[in-house]
Amino acid sequence: MTNQSAFVEVVKETDPILLRSLNDLLPQLSKNAQAMTMEDLKQIVDSECSHLLVVRATSGGSILGALTLIHFRIPTGVRAWIEDVVVDANARGQGIGKALIQAAIEKSHDLGAKTLDFNIQPRS
């Protein structure tokens, strides 16, 4: 990020403000995305196979971007991939996406992943 006005964190707990913030970002990810329920969010956060990474503004704590890091064990090692990267339109061009990807790379290394896949496709 170009300044210190935001930070990346791995979400450990759910709350209604986080849910609302993520649901506000979903239409920017996909026009067809349906709002998550609290149960949906809990499944992501509580899963042993995924980590939800968000960028929060230092002042106010609003969510500027998010991604999900998926990881799993296969016979040849741990694999990981990045899904559903979204940065708020008002925060683009500030290094938010880069910070999210870098944090996901570091987390995948911590998990012992041999590979990290990131499939970029336009969303509709």
CATH of the domain at 13: 3.40.630.30
Report pLDDT for 59.
Answer: 86
Domain assignment present for 124? no
64 close to 87: Cβ distance less than 8 angstroms: yes
Between CA 88 and CA 85 the distance in angstroms is 10
The total number of residues shown for the chain amounts to: 124
Q: How many domains, the chain? A: 1
Report pLDDT for 121.
Answer: 65
Give pLDDT tens digits along the chain (124 positions): 645 689 999 999 999 999 999 999 999 998 899 999 999 999 999 999 999 999 999 988 899 999 999 999 999 999 999 999 999 999 999 999 999 999 999 999 999 999 999 977 665 5
Domain assignment present for 26? yes
Report pLDDT for 94.
Answer: 93
Domain assignment present for 1? no
Report pLDDT for 61.
Answer: 82
Domain assignment present for 38? yes
State which residues form the domain around 27: 6-118
